[in-house]
Chain A
């Protein structure tokens, strides 16, 4: 029981990270109908920028503790958002209106570019950092098993919820959010009604990248080691989460992320660690076969 509770806490904090990345996938898919294959690598870039700013701030002795985390989060979000914007501008915008496969290939190329760019610039070795926020609260002690709710996990859940609240406000209450929803429903019509669709799509990528940067920072703080390859697996799993929740649905992406995080954690805890990725991917296949629209997605009506 205590063991299960611990896994629940671990699963939720991991699922929050997946959920944040999944939102980026689902937004882009909703608005231009492409899988942004480089999104996982944007997450990785976010983690690296967080790493660099932590090393600059903390090892430089300028700042420590929660204040440093806030600054790191801000820096990482801003720079990664710039990366998101650039990727869209360079690799996807020229291909708008081209045939279906072209942006996907371009995205795969961009993913290779980002991975190898970071590998060349920052080296292939794994980068460890000291924990910024050690310690935690003991929730329960039963049968000599201590259930820990670490401060880091609390931070992940709090930050994710806060970011998602801001994001929800942005999408539902602001003119930009309205423009984004309009583009999602019908891009041509939105353009006819005077919405700058190119700008809206750019901003979608910027917001998606900013959320991925938050996820990357959280991932770095939680696990303490990153390398240039973390983006691929995290990206595929986050996409799985987006599909599981119903692609195009924002609450669905978060829900899917939580489910994938929980499934992965419980599978590793009770079955085998080696096959945890197989578990996540099998879930994806099963969901798509029996529920092609995901948990919260709308059925696509096909007009002939």
Chain B
């Protein structure tokens, strides 16, 4: 049987090659049409203020050749590979088992990172950044992954948390540990406030209204100069202390290093911040996992699968949606407060739409509702983004391209399987292809 298939493939090879050549030639032609004006003719502002054109045909030629061979390779590979086999449930099950091992492994690695040899300031800062996005991803996952409410303005709650902490700390001198819950409450309050008007909306309408809310909050932050400092932001936000012991280089007994008799080092604060965000992220994770087992969490998941059925069964849609918004927003607020204390400076620049898009991309790439998947997606996206640091202005281009590519190759996200929260009999993993059909 397999020999027969191979023989057919051999016989088809010349036609595959010819078709691929033709396809690639058309692609090259289209690429030429796309790149000649934008890449080939670069406009620059000249000395007299008028625009000058610089011609760059070499770059166009390179891009066209890349398009030609890229398409040729793709078509040939597809032609020779034949029909793709659908993923079996057994494979999903195996993946899930591997995932069960992966989670403790990653947690152990995260806990040990500051003490691993070769970990310096840079690695810790990167770790903090990745964990911040892991936490934001898990927070947004409550809204998007569990309750199925598409929120494109999540960064608004991040901003509310950050500004709450910054304002409370600079104006009233409140400590970080007091401000953290306050920032969370503020953000949750805003979550409910913004959630109320959009209760009746669904799907894409909800997405666009939440996007509008995110932009409104940013515009207000820019223009309400007397409160927020406008585009200049807020500076001099107090750094966190270790339960009242400040991190300082002086080595006095009332500082962190002095109290514990350690050599004062600037790394102490970074390590502390690292564990702080790790703890916050794990808290988010723990709450999400626990919520899934509670009536409220089950109501969220029911809401995600079918709102009408959910309502018919007597679930209070309003409270269910608002609680998801509030809880998601609260974790966004925690992350925002952490961001403010870590940076010591915040401005509306940090809370643009692109942040919301990145967080949503992490949730979707992680497989919507899979905790470990989101952690991996954050690591891949943010870590990968850092890897391309040298690419400079091409970095965002690569980032956007990766988003499209991952979606096209794996539309279900990196971990596309889900185990049902409630099951009759033995619990089995649901393959990626069935998750959207309401079986997960």
Contact = CB atoms under 8 A, between A and B. Distances in A.
A285 B354 contact: no
Interface in B41-55: 41-45, 49-53
Interface in A198-254: 232, 236, 239-240, 243
Contact of A274 (B207, B223, B308, B436): B223
B204 A104 contact: yes
Nearest to A283: B212
Contact of A105 (B216, B361, B396, B436): B361
Contact of A117 (B38, B43, B212, B411): B38
Contacts of B393: 116, 119-120
Contacts of A255: none
Interface in B200-232: 200-201, 203-205, 207-209, 211-213, 215-216, 219-220, 222-223
A86 B215 contact: no
Given A35-B207, A127-B45, A109 B50 contact: no
Contact of A86 (B34, B212, B397, B400): B34
B260 interface: no
B411 A281 contact: no
Contacts of B37: 48-49, 52-53, 75, 79
Interface residues of B, number: 63
Contact of B150 (A33, A59, A101): A101
A277 B215 contact: yes
Contacts, number: 184
A113 B397 contact: yes
Interface string B380-404: 0000000000000110110111111
Interface of B: 30, 33-34, 37-39, 41-45, 49-53, 144, 150, 197-198, 200-201, 203-205, 207-209, 211-213, 215-216, 219-220, 222-223, 308-309, 353-354, 357, 360-361, 364-365, 368, 393-394, 396-397, 399-404, 407-408, 411-412, 435-436
Interface of A: 29, 33-35, 45, 48-49, 51-53, 55-56, 59, 75, 79, 82-83, 86, 90-91, 94-95, 98-106, 108-113, 115-123, 125, 127-130, 232, 236, 239-240, 243, 274-275, 277-278, 281-282, 284-285, 288-289, 292, 302, 304
17 contacts: A52-B37, A59-B53, A83-B34, A95-B407, A101-B150, A105-B364, A105-B365, A106-B407, A108-B403, A112-B397, A112-B399, A113-B401, A113-B404, A123-B44, A278-B220, A284-B208, A284-B209
